[in-house]
Structure 1
Amino acid sequence: MRPGVRSLFVVLTLGLAPACQGNRDQLLADLQSPRPEVRAQAVQSLAKQGNADDLVLFTRSAKDMASIVRGEAAEALGGSQDPRVVDLLGELLEDPDESVQGRAAMALSKIKNDKAKAYLTLQYSRRARNTRQIIVQALKSANVPGAMAEAVAAESKAIWERNLLTLHEGSLPERVGAAEELGKSGRPEAITRLLPLVRDSQVILAAAAVRGLGDAGDRRAVAAILPLLDENFPQLREASLTALSKLQDPSAVARLQAVALEKSAVSSLASDALISMPRGPETNAALCTISLEGTLAESLAAGRAMRAHGGCPLEPIAERLSRPAALDSGLQAVAGLGAAAQPLLSRVLPWLASADPHQRRLALEAVTAIGDASAAPAVQKLYEQETQALVPLRQDWVPAPLPLTYAPGFDPSAPQDEKDSRNTKTSQLFDRVRNLNAQRARETGRVQVQARVPSELYDEVEPQRLEPLAAVLRALGAVKAPGALELLKQYAGDSSVTLRSAALVGLARLGPEGVEVAKGGMFEAERELQKALAQALAEQGEAGQAALVSLLPQFSSEKLVLLDALNRFGAPASASPALQEVVRGGGAEAVLAASILGKLQAKDAVETLIKALEDPAGVARREVLLALGELGDSRAAEGVARDLYHDQPEIRAAAATALQRMGTSAQAEALDALKSDYYRRVREAASAALAKGGTAGEGAR
């Protein structure tokens, strides 16, 4: 360096030294500031100075009450690259604040030793989605090959060892949970360990082992589960039926049929298991047998399941209809099959005149299920008989119309003692709340469900006595009898909820005009009436489904009744805007709304569903992912792929399934890592997504 330049450098250095020292003193003072942002800025500025003596300051700041300070401290500690701070950063990786966790993970990546890597892989299984994703990035920054695969493998190993240890050494409740979790892994070793437990003396543990075998998805377990159906323990039998339903093995059909026909407490589970199985000659024959031989509930369920599969042979049913001793089974089979049994209508109609009320009722249910207009005269005749029988039972106590408002002193909402100021204030407060709720409902276009005010007083007639007439009212709508519309309108305002519900269901079956009248009944306060009517409307096709969709914005609550019916029976394409609004509202309703949007292939809902993924606490996350997969729009791939890092296995599986349906090879590395996930369903979904993505990529090339 030339002498003149050297002199200038010395002068500048001597001049800046006091300024730097003054700046550092200020930063040290700022570390004591009551304002968190000032303390955080001080930590950041000190870290930039790179003074090794400041490590103790950063250590102290890592314990700060403010997360913003702890985050800066984590980054400063990582920048020091001092191996002594690894344990402290490991603690910060468990910080309650997610942003601190992420900064601690990236800080650990700068300290490239085995201990830092061990902290990252250990905490991967304990953290939520965002931190898990940052941990993988940190491992990559630390030059760990196959970063995510290593983290997933470590998580899988830890879960397996924990469950295995608990199964052998835990308390009974802990062993039960461990048995089920081992089964969810789907590993061959899990099946080997669970099979001996199905005969354990502790029934609760044996049942857990059976449920675990069902989740494992290996049909080799069927041979060990089937004998358990002969046990006397209901809990064990229920677990066995649930497992067989998941395993879907045709070899179990005969035993499931036998249990369904024994008319026990678990018969319905056996029927459900058969209904869930893939259709084949053996399964169809079993369901047809249940429709003839089972209890009424199982018979109807089996018959309805066969409607979409060509129905059942009619000759055995016809033979039953010709024998009074076997009549009940024949009629309930017809009621289950519905229109598929229409050729048997002529054999059913004579039984509408049976002297036996039970046979008459079954025949009416069969006629209603068939829904043929030729049965209208017989149903009308039965209506006349039922109404005449009820006339003496439903006489008016008071012929004049009843008042619709309370007389002075009888209003239960008014204070009992007008002189009591506390009662007056309480009443006024409740009035204000009711008025505000009503005003809010009006402003949003919603209608509040109101309890009905009785307009007539009748002698007490038990609902069971009104059921025969209610069944006739439903039948009048089903067969579209002449004059049924006006008649059912009258009963739609009846004081009996039994008759009112039946009339509204009947109206729903009378085409657009009947649907328009019936949908008003959805604002009734009775929950069971709402459910029956919503199902009846949804069953009528587009007209009834459109009516339910039009009601969605008007319901401030009870949307689940509408959405459940639409989810079961379908929704029109025009439902997309209303369903998207439900998804935006979140809550339990969004689960069904997202599912319906996926079934509708509602392409216009992609942006709404992507937006819904931004809510980390959304309860409909799984259904939103699957819906995006159904829509197949590659714009959603990035948002969906983030959930491959989710801490819940069902969400990871849904994300992989969605990517598979999109046919995209995005996030192939993450999907490949999930092939070693602990949970079988995640591994299978990831493998399927890779296969589909690879095929799509080759096709594109």
Structure 2
Amino acid sequence: MRTGARPFILMLALVVGCNGSRDQLLADLQSPRPEVRALAVKKLAGQNNADDLILFTRAAKDLAAIVRAEAAVALGESQDPRVVDLLGELLEDSDEEVQGRAAMALSKVKNDKAKAYLMLQYGRRGRTTRQVIVQALKNANVPGAMAEVVAAEAKSQWDRNLLTLSEGELPERVGAAEELGKSGRPEAVNRLLPLVRDSQVVLAAAAVRGLGDAGDKRAVGAIALLLDESFPELRESAITALMKLQDPAVAPRLQAVALEKSAVSPQALDAIVSFPRTPETDAALCAVALDGAPADALVAAQAMRSRGGCPADPIGERLSRVTTAANGLQAVMGLGPSAQALLPKVTPWLQQNDAALRLLAVDAVASVGDASVIPLLQKLLEQESKGLEALRTDWVVQKLPEAYGAEFDPSGSASSLPTGAPKDERAARHATLFDRVKALNAQRARDSGRPVVKPRAPTELFDDVEPARLVPLATVLRALAMLRAPGALELLKGYSQDSSLPLRTAALQGLARLGAEGVAVAREGLLEPERDLQKALAISLVDGGEVGVAALVELLPKMGSEKLLVLDALTRSTAVPASASPVLQAVVKDGGPEAALAAVLLARIQAKDAVPTLIKALDETNTVARRDVLLALGTLGDAQAADVVSRDLFHDLPEIRAAAATALKRMGATTQTESLDALRSDYYRTVRDAAGAALAKGGTASEGAR
């Protein structure tokens, strides 16, 4: 009996132990700690008890995401068709981890309803969940999983936009028109073309923008007619669309808009500049260079500078008459060295009594770059200096103090106040919130190694000379620097600390073009608080060549919000050194809009060492620089980045999907053919084009369109 009783006692102990363990797990489901509840759900799921399904259903409603995620897994393991709707709800959860767990759980149920949930939610979720949904469909043995969900998403978007265009309210129809155009489908063009003459201007403008995105040149004629409309919004949309359609045949029409000197003229000029070079576009640009508004004429002439310039005779004819001289001088200023033959007709205007024409002539000869005019400019300098000498004479002989007295310093401590000052007054003067914020910002700047920019102390009680009166002198100073006149370096150094902003700006801009010694002085101007000065100086440093570019790169880590100005200037240069890679990588790590420009520059200098930094930047889901980082990785062509880049083929934003496909093409990646082939059915034309180009060896984006 003793031998037979032993197995019975052991079995009884085992049952009691299991029940005790289960009771504990049931108690843990009520724990106030989310991690304990989640672990309890996981362990109960491992016991495969059908009666626990109700427990998992309740856990799916838990306030903690970690618990809902474990509940999704447990529901999927049950493979019970009744849980499909609940898993569909979890697929819409606010937490991506829960969404992913729910998607994989649905793949285990393997019925049509579960598949329908996965197909539906693909177009509504973010990149991570979309990737998991495709994997879930593959696990459920759905053939061509990604191709199927991409096609389903495209069909859903098309049907929704088509219905909205027909039956929606006006704001909804406007959005639908633009979205239909982005599809690039011929049917979309057929739907939108009649709308360009709709009585609702906002809808007509949206249809025009959509036609531009569609990329179908059948729409060029209808859109070009809208340039004669009087509605600014419609004209702007037409110009934007024509720029995207890139048909040089409309250059004469755009030329007429650019010459009317209206609010949309600069936009029309930008469109002409963007077109492929043809005799029509060259003629349009030269016409604007002669007769456009001053700013537009300068842009048009600068565009023609690299194309060999414009015919000299029409410009020379303008220079021969006072009434049209300003147009001719403006054209020469933009054409620069390509207008060398016109210099003899420009120099007489340096002695013109009309100050406006004289200044245009100074800028024109400086742009041409012929040193023979230096004596004339030096004579002008002498005249301008003498004319200002009396006005700029200090009427206070003593030098003004450049620091506050102990009793008046707003940044001083309470101990610097007069001992007799009332307590309330002392608090009001030294404990204001604004002063505290300034002090904290200054301390942060010092801690980060950035110099603290201090306001320039006034050197005059009152300046008798208006800034506009100093512009002629500033123009001559800048011209002498551009021509590298003898003595220009010392002359501009003397004006580099001038109290007048126009003169100081001109001096610093000129010094930036005078080699290493000039750059050493000019670079300090980037730390001044005047934003216009910083922008102009940064561009001048880039124009100054390698020395100026190196100075900008060196100063970049010390800059605060001015980084964007410096980076924008650097993108204009082709002389950014490879040694700038560490500095630019630091900008990418900091994130923000500056990271986008830094990524562009890293790609341009072929900074292979920046690949890990750029890959790391893609971990930031909300970075505004994602598109530029992807394209930079593609340009650098490092195959180790292919897997990371390919994840963005699942991104919910079409511009990111297109950038990822383009990057994969540039780096020659060949292992993502399934995903790229699926994107050839994408709703958006740009994505289809990019995916097709990536699949076509040596092909172009248009070859990949579908």
Aligning the two structures, in what range does the TM-score lie when normalised by the shorter sequence? over 0.9
Partners in 1 of 2:327 and 2:437 — Cα distance? Answer: 55
Specify which of 573, 580, 594 is matched with residue 589 of structure 1.
Answer: 594
Which residue is 2:646 aligned to? 641
Residues 298-352 of structure 1, C-alpha deviations (whole Å, 9 max, x = no match) = 1110111122222222233233323333322211111011122123222211210
Task: Identify the residue that residue 64 of structure 2 maps to in structure 1.
Answer: 66
Alignment of 1:190-201 (within 5 A): 190-201=188-199
- Residues 364, 475 of structure 1: 8 Å contact kept: yes
SS at match of 1:393: coil
Quick one: percent identity of the two aligned structures?
Answer: 67
Q: Which residue is equivalent to 2:525? A: 521
The 5 A counterparts of 1:53-452 are 53-407=51-405, 409-411=407-409, 418-421=421-424, 423-424=426-427, 427-428=430-431, 434-435=438-439, 437-452=441-456
Which has the higher mean CA deviation after the structures are superposed, 119-128 or 457-466? 457-466
Deviation at 1:467, TM superposition (A): 1.2
C-alpha distance in 2, partners of 1:426/1:457?
24
Q: Distance in 2 between matches of 1:606 and 1:412?
A: 48
State the one-letter code of the partner of 2:40: A
> Secondary structure of the residue that 2:192 maps to in structure 1?
helix
Aligned mates of 1:460, 1:649 — CA distance in 2:
58
* Partner Cα separation in structure 1 for residue 134 and residue 266 of structure 2: 47
Where does residue 481 of structure 1 map in the other structure? 485
What amino acid maps onto 1:36 in structure 2?
P
Q: d(CA) in 2 for partners of 1:590 and 1:605?
A: 13
Instruction: Name the structure 1 match of 2:572.
Output: 568
Residues in 2 aligned to 1:669 and 1:521: alpha-carbon distance in whole angstroms: 54
In structure 2, give the amino acid aligned to 1:679. Y
Please say if 1:667 is aligned against 2:678.
Answer: no
- Which one of 460, 479, 502 corresponds to residue 456 of structure 1? 460
Q: Is the 8 Å Cα contact of residues 291 and 333 (structure 1) preserved in structure 2? A: yes
Q: Which amino acid aligns with 1:599?
A: R
Deviation at 1:429?
7.0
Label 1:64 to 1:487 Cα distance change in 2 as closer, same or farther (>3 A): same
In structure 1, distance between residues paired with 2:279 and 2:4: 99
C-alpha separation in 2, matches of 1:589 and 1:107: 41
State the one-letter code of the partner of 2:476. Answer: V
Offset at residue 156 of structure 1 (A): 1.1
> Where does residue 682 of structure 1 map in the other structure?
687
Shift of 1:254: 1.2
Q: Secondary structure at the match of 1:94?
A: coil
**Quick one: distance in 2 between partners of 1:436 and 1:225?**
55
Residue 328 of structure 1 aligns to which amino acid in structure 2?
A
Match of 2:549 in 1: 545
Q: Does 1:531 align with 2:535?
A: yes
Equivalent position amino acid for 2:523 in 1? K
Q: CA deviation at 1:12?
A: 5.8
> Which AA in structure 1 matches 2:356?
H
Q: Please say if 1:653 is aligned against 2:658.
A: yes
* Structure 2 residue 621 is the aligned partner of structure 1 residue 616: yes
- Relative to structure 1, the CA distance from residue 693 to residue 331 in structure 2 (aligned partners, 3 Å threshold; closer, same or farther) is closer
Whole-Å separation in 1 of the counterparts to 2:98 and 2:124: 15
Uncovered stretches (5+) of structure 2, i.e. residues with no partner: 701-706
Please state how far the C-alpha of 1:432 moved relative to its aligned partner: 6.2
How many residue pairs align between the two structures? 691
Q: TM-score if structure 2 supplies the norm length?
A: 0.94
Aligned to 2:703: none
Distance 1:669 1:693 in 2: 18
Q: 1:421 Cα deviation (Å)? A: 4.0
Structure 1 residues 502 and 188 mapped into 2: Cα distance closer, same or farther (>3 Å)?
same
The residue type paired with residue 83 of structure 1 is P
Offset, 1:439: 4.3
Deviation at 1:433?
A: 5.5
Pairwise CA distance, 1:568: 2.1
Q: Deviations over 1:541-566 (max 9, x none)?
A: 21111111111011132111100100
The residue type paired with residue 650 of structure 1 is E
Say if 1:397 and 1:459, in contact at 8 Å, map to a contact too.
no
Amino acid at match of 1:147: A
**Which amino acid is the alignment partner of residue 495 of structure 1?**
S
Q: Cα distance, 1:428 vs. partner? A: 4.8
Contact 1:534–1:565 (CA under 8 A) maintained in structure 2? yes
Partner residue, 2:20: 22
Q: Which residue identity does 1:464 align to in structure 2?
A: A
Q: Is the 8 A contact 1:448 1:555 kept in 2?
A: no
Does the 8 Å contact 2:505/2:533 carry over to 1? yes
Cα distance, 1:620–1:429 mapped onto 2, change above 3 Å: same
1:413 Cα deviation after fit:
5.5
**Are the aligned partners of 1:665 and 1:694 in contact in 2 as well (CA < 8 Å)?**
no
Structure 1 counterpart of 2:582: 577
Measured in 1, the distance between the counterparts of 2:698 and 2:9 equals 66
Q: Is structure 2 residue 630 aligned with structure 1 residue 630?
A: no
Q: CA deviation at 1:424?
A: 2.2
Deviations 1:567-587 (A, max 9, x none): 123422221111111001111
Asked whether 1:465 is paired with 2:469, we answer yes
Distance 1:638 1:8, change over 3 A: farther
Contact 1:253/1:274 (<8 A) preserved:
yes
Contact 1:447–1:556 under 8 Å retained in 2 = no
Equivalent residue letter for 1:518: A
Equivalent position of 2:610 in the other structure: 605
Does the C-alpha gap of structure 1 residues 423 and 165 become closer, same or farther in structure 2, counting only changes over 3 Å?
A: farther
What's the CA shift string for 1:371-419, capped at 9, x where partnerless?
2222211111111111122223223231221011234654455799942
The AA in structure 2 aligned to 1:143 is N
- Paired residue for 2:704? none
CA–CA separation in structure 2 for the residues paired with 1:675 and 1:527: 46
Letter in 2 for 1:166: T
Once the 2 structures are TM-superposed, how far is the Cα of residue 525 of structure 1 from its aligned partner?
0.7
Could you tell me the TM-score, scaled by structure 1's length? 0.95
| Secondary structure class of the residue paired with 1:264 | coil
CA distance in 2, matches of 1:163, 1:337: 48
Write the letter of the residue equivalent to 2:270: D
Structure 1: 5+ residue runs without aligned partners? Answer: 696-701
Shift of 1:128: 0.7
Q: CA deviation at 1:534?
A: 0.5
- The aligned amino acid for 1:653 is A
CA distance in 2 between counterparts of 1:649 and 1:461 reads: 56
Note closer, same or farther for the CA distance 1:116–1:372 as it changes in structure 2 (3 Å cut).
same
Are the equivalent residues in 1 in contact too, given 2:316–2:345 (CA < 8 A)?
Answer: yes
